[in-house]
Amino acid sequence: MIYLDHNATTPLDSRVLEAMMPYLTKRWGNPSSPYSFGNQAKIATEKARESVAGHFGCKPEEIVFTSCGTESDNLAVRGVASALLHRGNHIVTTAIEHHAILNTCKALEAEGFRITYLPVGSDGAARIEDVEKNLCSETVLITIMHANNETGVIQPVEEIAALAKNRAILLHTDAVQTAGKMPHKLCGLGADLISISGHKFYGPKGTAALYVREGTPLDPLLTGGPHERGHRAGTENVAGIVGLSHALDLAAESAESEYSRLRHLRDKFEDEIRSVLPGVRINGASAPRVPNTSSISFDSVDGESIVFSLDLRGIYISTGSACSTGDPEPSHVLLAMGLSSKEAQGSIRISFGKDNREEDIRAVVEALKNTVHRLRGISSIESGPQL
């Protein structure tokens, strides 16, 4: 099989599993227990917190472990909205966020909050001017993703952070698609809250973290015990936390070299696909992108048919977000970039990962060439002669 959908999820690194095993088998105590057996789990959790904090460039107390990127996003947005309701009820976000943010904002809208969904340019990036002109005295939070999961386009988070700081508005960034992929410390972005998710960088599913800058007002989503300094009740997933931390260590070790290697693979793939097929457009190609992601639109073909056809050859790609699979609507991200419904529906996403090599590029280009030729032949028969 050739797996090219690393933005949906990544395989668990065997070294990560090895680091987790003791906490699944021998040291399975509850970190909140008062005796030494529980304390072993507590020590492991706090060691992991320290290590994760090192990768963020923050204090260990500023890391909250959660169960998934979706929970981190929900905690950030709902937590701030609730804690700052006395100050204002306006939140600024973008039209291209992951549904973990978009649907949370929609739910808050139904509860009476005012949400501004900023547009993006045809390059897939939000404009700082648009952010600025939509801020008002009621704005309590800006939430903007670091890199888009469908196009890989990086958003101007640092500039927005400066703007937000000047106006004393909190900033959250969903860095689920950049954590472990960029050789920088995430706190350098200047956001007050940052979400990451373990299964996007060869860690276990069901493990994630939220960076919460010290002093940030945040109400919890879950009521219960005083875990995670009151930010997230519930017994910690010790093995998962150890796994997430180890996966981040491994990602950091190879971040620089993987960044260039993946960018080379991605660029080679894009050059080759453009050279073998007409009517191909790379979405977001003119903006800075994460190195592993390619969003491609093909004229006169349905992206879903391409995905199914490649599946039969053992090549796994997607039409966009894994969370939108089965959704007949065209991608909200591509529509926001100005693509027509037809263009958006003719799009696929390829996201490379650590096990991909140049031979995978040759195989996927060949498979795409044959598939698109065949599907274009079928669609021209279906649409009848051009009169």
* Chain positions contacting ligand PLP, by CB under 6 A: 68-70, 73, 98, 100, 145, 149, 174, 176-177, 197, 208, 321-323
Alpha-carbon distance 199 to 211, whole Å? Answer: 17
Residue sitting closest to ligand PLP (CB): 69
Nearer to ligand PLP, 197 or 371 (CB): 197
Alpha-carbon distance 73 to 199, whole Å? Answer: 15
Tokens linked to 102: 């978009």
Q: Is the four-CA dihedral 295, 297, 302, 306 of positive or negative sign?
A: negative
Cα→Cα distances 219→77, 81, 144, 380, Å: 10, 8, 20, 56
323 catalytically annotated: yes
Nearer to ligand PLP, 179 or 218 (CB): 179
Tokens linked to 314: 């053992």
* Closest distance to ligand PLP from the beta carbon of 196 (Å): 9
Nearer to ligand PLP, 98 or 289 (CB): 98
* Closest distance to ligand PLP from the beta carbon of 252 (Å): 20
| Phi and psi torsions of 63, nearest 5° | -100, 125
Who contacts 383 (Cβ-Cβ below 8 Å, separation ≥6)?
none
* Closest distance to ligand PLP from the beta carbon of 100 (Å): 4
Q: Where are the beta strands (DSSP E) in the chain?
A: 2-3, 63-66, 90-94, 114-118, 139-143, 170-174, 193-197, 208-212, 280-283, 293-298, 315-316, 347-351
Nearer to ligand PLP, 149 or 245 (CB): 149
Alpha-carbon distance 352 to 202, whole Å? Answer: 13
* Closest distance to ligand PLP from the beta carbon of 73 (Å): 6
Among 58, 105, 136, 323, the active-site one is 323
CA torsion, ordered 226, 227, 230, 234, to nearest 10 deg = -90
Asked if 336 and 120 count as a contact pair (C-beta separation under 8 A), the reply is yes
* Closest distance to ligand PLP from the beta carbon of 109 (Å): 19
Q: By CB neighbour count within 10 A (0-12 exposed, 13-18 middle, 19+ buried), where does 330 fall?
A: buried
Nearer to ligand PLP, 72 or 309 (CB): 72
Nearer to ligand PLP, 40 or 178 (CB): 178
* Closest distance to ligand PLP from the beta carbon of 272 (Å): 26
Catalytic residues: 323
